[in-house]
Amino acid sequence: MRDEFVLRMIESFSEVHTEQYFQFVKKHVKRFNSVLDIGCGPGLLLEQICERFNPGSVTGIDLRPEMLEESKIRLKSFGKPYSLIKQHLQEDTNLHGKYSVIFASRVLRSFENLDDVLKAIHSSLVDGGYLVILDWDQQPVKTYFEYFEQSSSFQRLTVGEKIRRRRNFSWYSSKDWEFMCNLFSFNFIATMRISPVHISMIFQKN
Ligand SMILES: C[S@@+](CC[C@H](N)C(=O)[O-])C[C@H]1O[C@@H](n2cnc3c(N)ncnc32)[C@H](O)[C@@H]1O
């Protein structure tokens, strides 16, 4: 039986990785020679990248073995080199090579060592390489309430629990993402609103 977190990631994947998101990536990212997905989860993004962008090679990093097992199933039919690495990026930020694109979906916000991770991303990109972030965008409490309204697990919470839950997702705003990536020498390329509480942003290394 699948782990509950794995299931949640599978179920919610297409709510944020929409057709418009992939069109946005296609429009701005000009090379897909080697691709890294940080916090790759069950591998759905890697699978989509392989199908849509025909990369030369792909790598996924995740701390959970059950996520990597799922990713392996999805990458089995990809006819080119791939690697899946079990690693806790808050303990070790080595990204194992150079990439033309690094994706980080729904993962960066929670890193205590975000500065070290952004530095590692920067030095692991080739010149002109891209960082594609998809993450939560800090919003008022009311916006989270409205966003989660349909979710039965959210409906079961008390008002206090709902207010506290929002804190998990509201670490940074889109302005914060832009500011922090600029601090680590990324150039802002484009942003796209995914939902009232999610954004995607693309940065490029000089
Ligand atoms: C919310 S899920 C997102 C999965 C996928 N990127 C997506 O958007 O569908 C976050 C993923 O990042 C992984 N993760 C969280 N913290 C991590 C860390 N410190 N090092 C490596 N992976 C991490 C989790 O195990 C999980 O698979």
Interatomic CA distance for residues 15 and 89, integer angstroms: 26
Q: How far, rounded to the nearest angstrom, does the alpha carbon of residue 71 sit from its chain's CA centroid?
A: 15
> Residue 116, SS3?
helix
The answer to whether the beta carbons of residues 146 and 196 sit under 8 Å apart is yes
pTM: 0.96
CATH class name, domain 4-137+172-205: alpha beta
Ligand 1 centroid, distance to 60 Cα (angstroms): 10
Interatomic CA distance for residues 46 and 70, integer angstroms: 11
Which residue type sits at 164? R
Residue ranges of the domains in the chain? 4-137+172-205
34-93 pLDDT tens trace: 999 999 999 999 999 999 999 999 999 999 999 999 999 999 998 889 999 999 999 999
Q: Is the CB of 167 under 6 A from ligand 1?
A: no
Taking the CA of residue 89 as reference, the ligand 1 atom at the shortest distance is 20
1-24 pLDDT tens trace: 788 999 999 999 999 999 999 999
Going by alpha carbons, the residue nearest to atom 22 of ligand 1 is 62
Tokens of residue 22, six digits: 């992939």
